[in-house]
Amino acid sequence: MIQASTPTRAVPGVPAWLRRQPIATRTVVLLLGILALTASSWLNVPMIPVPMTLQTLAVMLVGALYGWRLGVLTILVWLALGALGLPVLAGGTGGIARFLGPTGGYLLAFPFAGALTGWLAERGWNGERMALAFAAMLIAHALCLLLGGAWLATTLGMQKAVAVGVVPFVPGAVVKSALGAVLLKLIVMVRRSSEA
């Protein structure tokens, strides 16, 4: 007798590929996400007052691939490790001072940006539709720049914060959003070929 497989119950914020995985696999996925976020932090272009890294690209990818729930959890654990002093943030640094200084607003924006990207990916703004994936990542980058710039404005004033903490990062946000959309598309193509 052939038994019909039970469909996987849809859980908001958790992509289908992850719903089918046991908790041990999800834990490994979370750890891999933390490693990816850390590695992306170590690659940076020195700028003042905030270095430009690949962190936002990794944050958006974690959100899009993991869904907003596991994505946010992964980002929060990574930030907590940074706050505890582990060298997981930009330039291999860590410590609570990173959250209280010029980078604080950007760091605190990451969970929101990851959640937004995951939420949009869940609604089709993902690798299946590259233009929408690009738009999702660009909107999430804009959120990071908005919150980071607002944080900087409390010490530098709005005009200077925009001049040094937002405008220089716009081209990078566009490039990283395009790269993220391409990577999501490639992941979809690899997944389809492996299922064929």
Model pLDDT, residue 162: 95
- For residues 58 and 36, the answer to whether their CB atoms sit within 8 Å is yes
Model pLDDT, residue 47: 64
pTM over 0.85: yes
| Second CATH level (architecture) for the domain 16-190 | Orthogonal Bundle (1.10)
Distance between CA atoms of residues 164 and 170, nearest Å: 11
pLDDT per residue rounded down to tens, the chain (196 residues): 444 444 445 556 677 778 888 889 889 999 999 999 999 998 877 766 666 789 999 999 999 999 999 999 999 999 999 999 999 998 899 999 999 999 999 999 999 999 999 999 999 999 899 999 999 999 999 999 999 999 999 999 999 999 999 999 998 899 999 999 999 999 989 888 877 6
SS3 labels along 129-162: CHHHHHHHHHHHHHHHHHHHHHHHHHHHCHHHHH
- The token duo for 94 is 């860590």
Amino acid at 192: R
Characterize the bridge pairing of strands 44-45 and 52-53: antiparallel
Phi, psi (deg, nearest 5) at residue 152: -60, -35
- For residues 68 and 76, the answer to whether their CB atoms sit within 8 Å is no
Neighbours of 16 (CB within 10 A): 11
Q: For tokens 């490790």, name the residue.
A: 81
Model pLDDT, residue 3: 45
Model pLDDT, residue 193: 84
Model pLDDT, residue 41: 92
